[in-house]
Structure 1
Amino acid sequence: MDHDAYRKQSIERWERAAPGWASQRARWQRDTAPVSFRMVELADPQPGQTVLELACGAGDTGLLAAELVRPGGKAILTDAAEPMLDIARSRAEELDLPGVEIKAMDAEWIDLPTASVDTILCRWGLMLLADPSASLRECRRVLRPGGRLVLSAWAPETENPWTAIAQEEASRMLGLATPATSKEGGARHVRVA
């Protein structure tokens, strides 16, 4: 795989998807809330802490955490696709949350100082990266000692019919061959070096 080409194509896809994502943001947030709430529960952010959300998209998970780090805390929401960040900015303004920083950043190269965040959240982003191992190394670098990393990923298609159905329908609508359902799914194992 050409990682640079994959990264470029991924950003372009998310930029094209942003208008549809924005128009369905409330519905998507409602449907995915159980995952976001569970992630924030596991992260257990406290007032005064710094939380980083990678590949934030509309920022639903990071904005939940932002409410919990007040007063004195900060939430940094990042994504490589600027139009997705526009959605997160709009939502942060609606919620009137101080201490929320939203900026473009690639999850494989986290542009933050070493040991500068208490918690990192990434809902369904790590699995879509060209080099998940690079992102995990960066997470380890920017987390403070004792910090928490909370990730979510889709299960293999055989255990998650939602993704298989969505892929089949998208393929049908676009006139593409239906992807074969694999026994292992799209899950990748990564080793942090």
Structure 2
Amino acid sequence: MDIAAIRKDYSIKSLDISDVNTNPIQQFGAWFEEAVSADVLEVNAMTVSTLGLDGTPNARILLLKGVDTGFIFFTNYDSEKGRELEKNNSASLTFFWPELERQVRVRGKVEKITEAESDTYFFSRPLGSQIGAWVSPQSEPISSRADINARQLKIEKQFAGKAMSRPPHWGGYRLMPLSMEFWQGRPSRLHDRIKYELKEGKWILSRLAP
């Protein structure tokens, strides 16, 4: 297979500073609604990039679970990403919606959300997912799938007939954006890119070269 020969030309839409909201989170909301309407596959999937404990970048796909003043996601605080964020709370998010030929990049600082916020989301999840949060020692080595199955049976017995509780090691983060970039694919790789940067509490917009 000639990987270098794989090519797709983008031509659906264009993007200019005059087209966007002065607030990047509101602009994200508008694009997100368009992506939902376009039936984008896994529309809330995003690449969360952190700085590894060894100093190298580390990335994985997570699901966005809310947007307010920042971007909210949930995970195990003791996981690899949790340990990385504990040491360095700088992170970035990348959304790619190929059906609309669009990408959004978000860079900022991550903070834990309140326990009440984590509880609200945790108890909105299906029971199986609640149990799963207790079961997995996320990112830790295990000998086999049987280990997880055994832990699941143990947790199911532990909470049988009892009220479920949220694991203290599981909860949410909010990434507070310092910069955001909206990318619209264009023909001949001459893409449109609009960048927002937070400077002294104000969002400054600029157009970037493709």
User: TM range, normalised to the smaller chain?
Assistant: under 0.3
Higher relative contact order (CA 8 A, sep 6+): 2
Structure showing greater radius of gyration is: 2
TM-score normalised to structure 1 length: 0.27
Larger % of strand: which?
Answer: 2
